[in-house]
Structure 1
Amino acid sequence: MTDRIDKMDARILNILQRDASLGVKEIAAEIGLSVSPTFERIKRLRKDGYIERYVVLVNREKLGKHLLVICTVTLKQQSLETLKNFEEAVNQFSEVLEIMCIAGNHDYLLKIAVKDVKDYHLFVMKHLSGIPNVANVNSSFVLKEIKKETALEVKI
């Protein structure tokens, strides 16, 4: 893996984070390189793991997912096996957008999108409470998203 990227690579990464639908020709024009070296840089950035994947961000509200929940989960035990089992189980639920193993008073933080409070209650009762070793589930309902960003600014 390449240890370093240069300013041109950083510009490419920032452009792709802003709009991954841009073609190589458009990116090349924006950074002032020809198409072939731009293509090779993008290919290398992907091969070296700087670009993990390309995605489309959808509007969850338009898809009927009006409630965003931040949920913390505490397990009864924290053995390697119980952590792995929990992660595998919760990873199967489409409602769960993000899973983070955290340090502190809780073991996991989950970001969950559902239709409404009733659907969230059903999700907790049907899915989360059914996972072995779950001791406690705390839920916070998002009232307003102030900043919603996926791009990580790349500076060199």
Structure 2
Amino acid sequence: MRSLGPRMEVAVAMTILGVGAAVVAAMHLTWPEPELPAMAYSVSGGEAGVIGLEPFEIDDVSGGAVELTPGSEGARLVRLSNPNNVDIVVLTLEAQAGQPLDEAQNRVPECPSGVLTVVPMAEPVAIPPAGSVEVEMVVQIAHDVPSACTDAVFPLTYSGRAARA
């Protein structure tokens, strides 16, 4: 079997790790009291066994909801875990807000998902074999938020890219 070479192996590993890391959590936008806890669970898809690396895991471990008012910032605590037996570096981590939901879990079309943004992770982070690190993601809410967004729940979809360290 022909070797791909070191550069191609890194490119393939980065592609697999980038596609494989994704998680969905919920972000609450409430005034004045958050009532529901944030959901957090890990979803790891991808092709295990390619060059021996598995996708890293993303878990929103913030606990309760983050209370946001128009024009404010909050934070989500996110744990990144390395299921591999080698060091990896998470190069990027970002989150996209989905269509907001009301208390009955119905979509709120009058509240656009764009009123909530999550600032991408600023610096790459190294994760040791079978280890984890926690990073903070800054969440921002627009100044001009429609009243339909009061007590809405914003689902967040996290994604990122990693490479062998």
TMscore range, shorter length: under 0.3
Q: Which has the higher strand share?
A: 2
Q: Which has the larger radius of gyration?
A: 1
Which of the pair is proportionally richer in helix?
1
Give the TM-score taking structure 1 as reference length: 0.27
